[in-house]
Amino acid sequence: MDLWLAPHDIRVRSINRISHGFASTPFGDCVAIGTPTHLLALHFTENHRQTLVGLQSVWFRAKFHPSPAVAKLIHLALTQPEKIPVLAIGTPFQLTIWEFLRSIPRGSTMTYGAVAKAISRPRATRAVGQAVGKNDLSIVIPCHRIVSQGKLTGYRWGLERKRQLLASELINRNLLT
């Protein structure tokens, strides 16, 4: 079960222990953090330690400890991201966008404008783009599936990685369903 919470929710403030893990993937190295029941963040990284320090600065009240189980979730994210329970923390608008992104089928893309229309906010294309860019759960909340009209633009972890993720999903779409 996924949780979609605002930052001031008491359940967010009460997280005091976070597990972390590292893994290499065909798309680059990743760092993930989570609670015993939910994934909090999954980031592509060039520097594990630096990324972990950045995540610790966001979750400064929590104690971090390594966990092989969290590292295994990174590999599950590549094949079955919908099976990973997430704890997404953001504004109500961001949560709406991220929840919608989870419904986009593997191997498919949508434009920012199409997402805005789909959530009944047709004039919110730029806000959709900003929400997509704030996603902390790479692959699991598939922000890489959002494109501009006719071209790939903007991806927090680089356009080449976005291109690789989309190509892989397209090739494997029928094998993974």
According to CATH, what is the number of the domain 3-83? 3.30.160
Give tens-digit pLDDT for 73-125: 999 998 899 899 999 999 999 999 999 999 999 989 999 999 999 999 999 99
**In angstroms, how far is the first alpha carbon of the chain from the final one?**
20
Q: What are phi and psi of 9, to 5 degrees?
A: -60, 135
Give tens-digit pLDDT for 50-75: 999 999 999 999 999 999 999 999 99
Angle, helix 92-101 to helix 125-133, in steps of 10 degrees: 80
pTM for the model stands at 0.91
Domain ranges of the chain: 3-83, 92-176
Residues labelled as active-site residues: 143
Q: Give the residue among 33, 11, 28, 3 at the shortest CA–CA distance from 78.
A: 28
Distances (CA, A) of 158 to 21, 107, 138: 22, 18, 12
Q: What are phi and psi of 20, to 5 degrees?
A: -135, 155
Fold designation for 92-176: Arc Repressor Mutant, subunit A (1.10.10)
